[in-house]
Amino acid sequence: MTDKLESTFFEVSREGAVAHIEMNKPDKANSMSPDFWKDLPVIANALNADPEVRAVVISGRGKHFTGGMDLASFQDIMALTKSEPARASYAMRDLILKLQDALTSLETLRIPVIAATHSTCLGAGVDLISACDIRIASQDTSFGIEEILVGMAADVGTLQRLPKIMPSGIVRELAYTGRRFSAEEAKGWGLVNSVHGDRDSTVQAALDMAQQIAAQSPVAIAGIKHAITYARDHSVADGLDQIATWNSGMLRPEDLMKAIQAKMQKQQAIYDDLLSNAS
């Protein structure tokens, strides 16, 4: 299915069960222009529906991961403010919700998403990686919640997701000041899992991790992702009830027997794909 995905912003490729989404506007630091926000949920939905895809890596081509929101997008937003106030506010809220939905498409994907960052990951780039399951970075990555520097609060996910990933006080400092922080700081706070030498080694590490994930039972992986995201937003009691209900319906002997037999034989189990109508 990936060979049918066309985008003016992204290049999508696949190696085995791993899809690789690359932001491909290197001449503009992969700044998030309107086609980013339009194409990302389309790609996510297509990958979600492809039973052969079991893990995703998202990275950026060129010198930077992403410089954040493209200036053209800001101009479109500012144009709304010239309209009648109530209607302008309604249109602004509708636009923000659509931008939020674009990034949430990664969070709601049944497939784990690994972000591989390098050089700069600023503004909406932090919103993007906070919607991913796992984040790894090159040692030269510089992160920044820089919306405050243009007089606004980040509004497409950073302020909602980061406090669930790293300490609230650190998030507040970074959001209030807009200061940039390093990959090592991000690792110490739990934002990134590991730090690598350069862009290529970071992307390769992400692809290797994705292949390891893709070798597991796709039903179990979907269950784990759903359970962790659900538990983040609910009480422990609710989370325990959710996973009990999930496994009562999804836990079946085929994958369990394959896993046990493979372990006894010191081999990697081979699991069937999900059905073609999975979404």
What's the pLDDT at 1? 55
CA dist 113 and 19 (Å) reads 9
What's the pLDDT at 264? 86
CATH code of domain 2-214:
3.90.226.10
The domains of the chain are located at 2-214, 218-264
pTM greater than 0.85 (yes/no): yes
CATH topology match: 2-214 vs 218-264: no
What's the pLDDT at 4? 65
What's the pLDDT at 279? 46
CATH code of domain 218-264:
1.10.12.10
By CB neighbour count within 10 A (0-12 exposed, 13-18 middle, 19+ buried), where does 14 fall? middle
Amino acid sitting at position 206:
A
What's the pLDDT at 269? 86
Per-residue pLDDT tens digits for 113-136: 999 999 999 999 999 999 999 999
Report residues of the chain scoring pLDDT below 70.
1-4, 74, 277-279
What's the pLDDT at 261? 86
